[in-house]
Amino acid sequence: MSKPFNRILLTGAAGGLGQILREALQAHAHIVRSSDIGAMTPSRGEHDEVMPCNLADKAGVAALCKDVDAIVHLGGVSVERPFEEILQANICGMFHVYEAARQHGIKRVVFASSNHVTGFYPQDVELDVHALRRPDGYYGLSKAYGEDMATFYFHRYGIETVSLRIGSSFPEPRNRRMLSTWLSYGDLEHLVARALLADKVEHTVVYGVSANRDLWWSNRHAAHLGYAPQDSSELFRAKIERLPAPATDEPGSQLQGGPFTAAGPFD
């Protein structure tokens, strides 16, 4: 059966979302090459490759991208940490991925950005992707840098990117904040598919969020992707609202970035 891509590279394949997408991406490529520095399950056959790689290793990333048609880039530090830890994986690693894409002629990247790029906005403000960024920590700063890197590599080299400002992707929401930010695994798979397959995306930024009732983010500027979420956090509202409400003076309780806005300093 013909598929849109021969080989897709998935970085961050050992993480929670990487494990979900490792299998889902097989619908779009004859071969999925999975990479991480963490432990991964072994290769599952000729259509499933495993290539460990540290994103801080420029030559290693260049080799990782050989014979690849598209990249789904989830790799890096995924929580707020000291800047020195963020630097190598999220900033140097991002550069190495785009340089490898340029060298190998790869023209489509799907980048796992984050809602923490705009985490310092109040929760009662609706944003679209044209709102000024307000990163809520070193992690959010690294994702803002990644979005700028994607813009630069499109205008300079014609590499198209869809940056996914992922909300909170778990089997179900875990707290009140996630009633607004939740992204189901099914909607995540659909969003990544549209990011890979949509025509002429240039550099498109889209919030990765399901069709929740109380949304903080609008994707009106990313309608050309054809992303149509099917799930909603409403199914879990009663369960979540039985949990104790956070104190109004709890750090980050009124901000979209939640506890990330108060993490650190790390000195």
**pLDDT tens sequence across 17-33:** 999 999 999 999 999 99
Q: What is the pLDDT of residue 248?
A: 79
Report CA dihedral (47, 49, 55, 56) to the nearest 10 degrees: -150
**Could you give the number of structural domains in the chain?**
1
Examine residue 174 and state whether it is found in any structural domain, yes or no. yes
Examine residue 267 and state whether it is found in any structural domain, yes or no. no
Examine residue 217 and state whether it is found in any structural domain, yes or no. yes
Q: How confident is the model at residue 252 (pLDDT cuts 50, 70, 90)?
A: confident
Overall average pLDDT of the 103-123 stretch: 98
Q: How confident is the model at residue 251 (pLDDT cuts 50, 70, 90)?
A: confident
For this structure, is 227 an active site residue? no
Q: What is the pLDDT of residue 263?
A: 94
pLDDT at 153 over 80: yes
Examine residue 75 and state whether it is found in any structural domain, yes or no. yes
Q: What is the pLDDT of residue 169?
A: 98
Count, residues in the chain: 267
Examine residue 139 and state whether it is found in any structural domain, yes or no. yes
Examine residue 89 and state whether it is found in any structural domain, yes or no. yes
CATH code of the domain in which 180 resides? 3.40.50.720
Asked if residues 85 and 264 have their Cβ atoms less than 8 Å apart, the reply is no
Q: How confident is the model at residue 143 (pLDDT cuts 50, 70, 90)?
A: very high
Q: What is the pLDDT of residue 43?
A: 85
Tell me how far apart the alpha carbons of residues 109 and 48 are, in angstroms, rounded to a whole number: 19
Examine residue 131 and state whether it is found in any structural domain, yes or no. yes
Q: What is the pLDDT of residue 14?
A: 96
Contacts of 19 (CB under 8 A, 6+ apart): 13
Residue 65, token pair as written in the block:
């991208």
Q: How confident is the model at residue 137 (pLDDT cuts 50, 70, 90)?
A: very high
Among 74-83, 179-188, 237-246, 248-257, name the one with the lowest average pLDDT: 248-257
Overall average pLDDT of the 33-45 stretch: 91
Examine residue 13 and state whether it is found in any structural domain, yes or no. yes
pLDDT at 46 over 90: no
In the chain, the largest separation of any two C-alpha atoms, in whole Å, equals: 56
Mean pLDDT of the chain: 96
Give the range of the structural domain holding residue 138, as residue numbers without chain letter.
5-262
Overall average pLDDT of the 61-80 stretch: 98
Q: Which of 98, 121, 138, 139 is catalytic?
A: 139
**pLDDT tens sequence across 189-212:** 999 999 999 999 999 999 999 999
Tell me how far apart the alpha carbons of residues 97 and 161 are, in angstroms, rounded to a whole number: 12
